[in-house]
Amino acid sequence: MKHCMITTKVNGKEYVRAIPVNMTLVEFLRDELHLHGTKEGCDEGECGACTILFDGHPFNACLVLAAEADGHDILTIEGMADDDRLHPIQEAFLEAGAVQCGYCTPGMVLSAKAVLDEFPNPTDAQIRTGIEGNICRCTGYNRIVEAIHIAAEKINAAG
Amino acid sequence: MTYKKSDQDQTSASTKVKTTTDLESKLKQLAASVPLSSIGTEDVYVDQAGKVGVMGNYQTVGHPEERKDAREKVTGEAVFGPDVEFPNMLYAAVYHSPYAHARILSYDLEDAKAVEGVVCVLTGKDVPGRFGAFIADQSTLAVDKVRYNGEPVVAIAAETAHAAKEAVQKVKVEYEELEAVTDPYEAMQPGAPLVHDNWSGYAHAADFTGRDGTNLCDYFPLRHGDVEKGFEEADIVVENTYRTAGVNHSTIELHVATAKFDIAKNRLTIWSPTQSPFMIRKQLAGLLGLKQSEVRIVCTYIGGGFGGKYEIKIEPIVAALAMHCQGRAVRLVYNRHEDYLAGCVRGGTVIKIKSACNRDGKMVAQKIENYFDTGAYSTTGPRINYNAGLAAISPYKIPNVWIDGYTVATNRQITSAYRGFGMPEYTFAFENQMDLLADKLGMDPYVFRMKNIYHTGDVSATGEILPEVGLEKCFKAAAQMIGWEKGDWRRHVTEDGKWRAKGMAGGIKLTGTPSSSSVVVRFNDDATVQVSQSGMELGQGAFTVIPQFVAERLGIPYENVSVVPVDTMYTPYEKTTTGSRVTFHVGNAAVRAAEDVIDQLCDLCAIGWEADRESIRFDKGVIFGPMGKKLVVKDIGKTSLMKEQDPILGRGTYSTSDIWDKPDPDTHASKKPTVQWFWAAQACEVEVDPKTGKIRILDYAAAQDVGRAINTMNCVQQVEGAVVMGMSHCMLEELLDDEQGHLLNGNMVDFKVATSQDTDFDIKVALIENPVSDNLYGARGIGEPPVVPPAAAISNAVSRACGGRILSIPLKCEKVLDAVKKGPYRKEAE
């Protein structure tokens, strides 16, 4: 398999790597950088578990080639907390009881961030649309919607 | 079904429901949208608007403590099955059968072996032996014959995942296709293609009831009274055949396992997100000719189980590869399509049911024949048949009951445990019947149910005196929360031409009995405790509630207690994490382990204080001695009592072997078939668009007898999640195959599970307090029971709105439209 060089920033850190041209971004994150927080659930863009932010936009990392990340900024779940301090969205997920098995949680948190970056005071409908690509089999979603509202309050209160 | 006006008036809900108990007056406040904080009552805890409070009077039990696993899950640190990796690891891939039923004629593996990086290629010939919890009918890789579309045929290990997948593409197998059977009822008819020739030729459990020369691998009869006489004498009889579709667990974490074989120690280690580490250890040891001590199962977090990770599944495949790969670790992760093909499912059912009552609204008789599709191998089908068969007595007191459960092999995906274990299916059937009988009586379906529900002390259809039945409170709570007493449960039409109605259903389920649990706790000299146990965390909160039990009993802060990772080499035996059993069973063992620590702490105090052991007593976290001496256990680190003292080990076990009354095999009469029954009631309001068949749930109410909540937040999570999962089964999910048994929708677009857009309705949850006497804090299991009623409650509402009964789930739009078109209100839809 042909290889190519990429330079990409993941969670603020720059990586320069030679990678196979057919490597997906989720493979790059998990197998090359060993960032296992990004989950893989279907490998075809259906479940949303591998959601990351690509220049701030929510992408299914299984549908993006790692080569496409060349020159771009990637945010994964590992980049959400500030050292020991959880991101307000993470705190809100804990408070609202939005975490059960936890497998969809990293992707869900990143989709939540994308929602809140776009809509600082989101409606239920905006939240539900923002996370519609993230399947959760445990919670029934209502607590996740609630968590995103709580996160909005936290972020807005912090200015 | 049409209503006579006089009948409706005669049995108006409002006259029957409005009594004046505290519970009801408290629930009325809810109907008026009063905030949760003002609703706290002694016997019911209601959650609303995401606020979750405290149940009971303890320092940590009954509190919505933050889950122990939540922080590492929101940061991405939690290790799941696919996150296990080792240096020099190999990647496995599987070639699956393209046919549902075929004889294997030959293999051509040369091209696959020639792919660069391929290390090992195995077929069924290389992996002898068969496994199965009740009938050992399954081989690791197909031998001679394939029996379902997706059956693993060839396993490959390679240096990279891409090489392994490429090699799979190059496998060539020649087959002779055989006629397939895909419906459990048809599979029971004479002349149906045989999936297995001869059940008794396989090793099997002692109480095996399969019939050779048929597809029946398990039969369950329950007999109580005389049903035929009951039907003759009853005023009203209703008979129907119901069907439920096959559904896949669709956990977001796929089936995965990693294996490594240590040649020097002759030891196989498996890393797996399994719900049953000790069961798979035993089965793998038997299959591979190893001692149980030579098989080690290291458990990761489970990214969704719901029963799908209960059985031995892909572990034998990675184990076989690892044993052929010279000490290198081998990891296999199914992709989503493979997971649908060769993971496992809840098979479909065909349920023939005849139900009868008298004019006074009392149930007289019920006869059920349930044909469970167990797929190509028996797996846990016999156990589902047994557990669900016992609970199929229903939540209603019926003097004459006949249940025949058939576990039938077909050429479809393999069934395994699935949250609810057969009861959502049975409940869909008998709760639809309850509505039909009520309609024939002209009686409010709620009133009809309340006339028939079991109460504490009633004798069940198996002959058990039922303890602590919470059904009445559950039904009252569900009815009140959904506003049933207003009487608009009946079909009515909105101004914009939509049809609305309400529906309800009860829930009954048992937990597998007998079983046992064990817990070892290590009490350190700073009053922190590490709990060793093997109940798995699959999202239900096991790693949270077990520490709550220990902390409460020892009187130390919840924060002081943690759970160690589950590993069969170190943590003690646990049957399985299934059947909603962990909170109750492991909780009991944990309390005993904590009490063992208390005993030893009292011994230490006696020595330290130079006092008689008899003069020392423990109460709520404090040890009292003579002369006013006392030790606050959580402050033990400030004393010298544990100096020069190893951490204290406390041991606790709990088994239900001694209380179980083994049911009679012919009638399943038993005075104690289960250590614990679960009770629920749910109700909902739906709106049907008669022009498109689209269903909208407007409101949902779920009442669950929790005994006493150990963690109120976990309980509410379980109920909400179960309602949505049950709704998804009822309205969306269906595994489709063609006549040759090819799976047609093995992906998450065509097999649709509920998303955030499908769940935009309020779920009101009532946790009913009804403490269980066999548990110190009164806990009852919670994981599965709330998934039992949703399909029945929703379909009752939808059928009522349509004016015609839909006898199968899922309730696809076309079925709804069909019911509208054939119903008495069809003119309104035009």
Q: What is the pLDDT of residues B352-373, one digit of tens each?
A: 999 999 999 999 999 999 999 9
Residues B74, A94: C-beta atoms closer than 8 Å: yes
Residue B56, pLDDT score: 84
Residues B303, A76: C-beta atoms closer than 8 Å: no
Report the residue of chain B nearest A90, measured CA to CA. B74
Residues B759, A142: C-beta atoms closer than 8 Å: yes
Which of B69, B82, B756 is closest, CB to CB, to A102?
B69
The band of B8, judged by pLDDT with boundaries at 50, 70 and 90, is very low
- Mind listing the pLDDT tens digit for each residue in B266-284? 999 999 999 999 999 999 9
DSSP letters for B29-82: HHHTT--GGGT--SSEEEEBTTB----SS-SSTTS-PPPTTHHHHHTT---BGG
CB contact, 8 Å: B249 with chain A?
A: yes
Which of B71, B82, B753 is closest, CB to CB, to A135?
B753
Which of A49, A81, A143 is closest, CB to CB, to B717?
A143
Residues B69, A146: C-beta atoms closer than 8 Å: no
A127 CB neighbours in chain B (<8 A) are 756
**Chain A closest CA to B770's CA: distance in Å?**
24
- Mind listing the pLDDT tens digit for each residue in B529-544? 999 999 999 999 999 9
Report the residue of chain B nearest A42, measured CA to CA. B336
Report the residue of chain A nearest B253, measured CA to CA. A41
The band of A73, judged by pLDDT with boundaries at 50, 70 and 90, is very high
- Mind listing the pLDDT tens digit for each residue in A97-112? 999 999 999 999 999 9
**Chain B closest CA to A29's CA: distance in Å?**
12
Pairwise CA distance, residues B777 & B773, whole Å: 8
Considering chain B, what percentage of its residues have pLDDT values greater than 90? Answer: 91
B80 CB neighbours in chain A (<8 A) are 39, 102-103
Identify the helix (H) or strand (E) that includes residue B651.
strand B648-655
Identify the helix (H) or strand (E) that includes residue B107.
strand B102-108
B251 CB neighbours in chain A (<8 A) are 101, 103, 137
Interface test with B, best of A82, A89, A138 (most B CBs within 10 A): A138
Q: Which of residues 535-554 of B touch A (CB under 8 A)?
A: 538-541
The SS3 of residue B400 is strand
Average pLDDT, chain B: 93
**Chain A closest CA to B755's CA: distance in Å?**
6
End-to-end CA distance of chain B: 19
Helices (H), B324-482: 336-342, 381-391, 423-441, 445-452, 471-482
**Chain B closest CA to A71's CA: distance in Å?**
25
If you average pLDDT over residues B740-748, what whole number do you get? 96
β-pairing, B152-158 vs B90-96, is: antiparallel
The answer, yes or no, to whether residue B31 has pLDDT greater than 60, is no
The answer, yes or no, to whether residue B45 has pLDDT greater than 70, is no
Report the residue of chain B nearest A96, measured CA to CA. B50
- Mind listing the pLDDT tens digit for each residue in B134-143? 999 999 999 9
Pairwise CA distance, residues B681 & B701, whole Å: 9
Which of A1, A31, A140 is closest, CB to CB, to B724?
A140
CB contact, 8 Å: B301 with chain A?
A: yes
Beta bridge partners of B617: B624
Q: Are B430 and B369 in contact (CB under 8 A)?
A: no
Pairwise CA distance, residues B433 & B355, whole Å: 7
Residues B304, A78: C-beta atoms closer than 8 Å: no
Residue B6, pLDDT score: 35
Report the residue of chain B nearest A108, measured CA to CA. B74
Residues B724, A141: C-beta atoms closer than 8 Å: yes
Residue B7, pLDDT score: 35
Report the residue of chain A nearest B249, measured CA to CA. A137
Residue B744, pLDDT score: 98
The band of B51, judged by pLDDT with boundaries at 50, 70 and 90, is low
CB contact, 8 Å: B251 with chain A?
A: yes
Q: Are A104 and A39 in contact (CB under 8 A)?
A: yes
Q: Are A141 and B724 in contact (CB under 8 A)?
A: yes
The answer, yes or no, to whether residue B14 has pLDDT greater than 50, is no
Report the residue of chain A nearest B91, measured CA to CA. A31
User: Among all chains, which residue has been given the structure tokens 């208390």?
Assistant: B598
A97 CB neighbours in chain B (<8 A) are 50, 52, 64, 713, 716-717
Residues A86, B755: C-beta atoms closer than 8 Å: no
Residues A140, B763: C-beta atoms closer than 8 Å: yes
Interface test with B, best of A38, A103, A129, A131 (most B CBs within 10 A): A103
Considering chain B, what percentage of its residues have pLDDT values greater than 70? Answer: 94
- Mind listing the pLDDT tens digit for each residue in B70-108? 999 999 999 999 999 999 999 999 999 999 999 999 999
Residues A139, B301: C-beta atoms closer than 8 Å: no
The answer, yes or no, to whether residue B4 has pLDDT greater than 80, is no
Peptide bond into B184 cis (omega under 30): no
Residue B545, pLDDT score: 98
Residues B76, A140: C-beta atoms closer than 8 Å: no
Residue B643, pLDDT score: 83
Report the residue of chain B nearest A138, measured CA to CA. B721
* CA dihedral for B48, B51, B56, B57, sign (positive or negative): negative
Residues B76, A78: C-beta atoms closer than 8 Å: yes
The band of B186, judged by pLDDT with boundaries at 50, 70 and 90, is very high
Residue B36, pLDDT score: 30
CB contact, 8 Å: B73 with chain A?
A: yes
Q: Is the ipTM of this complex over 0.85?
A: yes
**Chain B closest CA to A43's CA: distance in Å?**
7
The answer, yes or no, to whether residue A94 has pLDDT greater than 80, is yes
The answer, yes or no, to whether residue B722 has pLDDT greater than 90, is yes
Residue A84, pLDDT score: 84
Which of A41, A124, A127 is closest, CB to CB, to B253?
A41
If you average pLDDT over residues B662-687, what whole number do you get? 98
**Chain A closest CA to B827's CA: distance in Å?**
35
Interface test with A, best of B697, B756, B759, B782 (most A CBs within 10 A): B756
- Mind listing the pLDDT tens digit for each residue in B318-327? 999 999 998 9
Pairwise CA distance, residues B601 & B631, whole Å: 10
Q: What count of residues does chain A have?
A: 159
B753 CB neighbours in chain A (<8 A) are 135, 137
Residues A104, B539: C-beta atoms closer than 8 Å: no
Residue A159, pLDDT score: 81
Phi, psi of B365 (to 5 degrees): -155, 150
Mind listing the domains of chain B with CATH numbers? Answer: 1-65+480-509+673-732+742-830 (3.30.365.10), 81-178+256-333 (3.90.1170.50), 207-254+344-452 (3.30.365.10), 515-655 (3.30.365.10)
CB contact, 8 Å: B305 with chain A?
A: yes
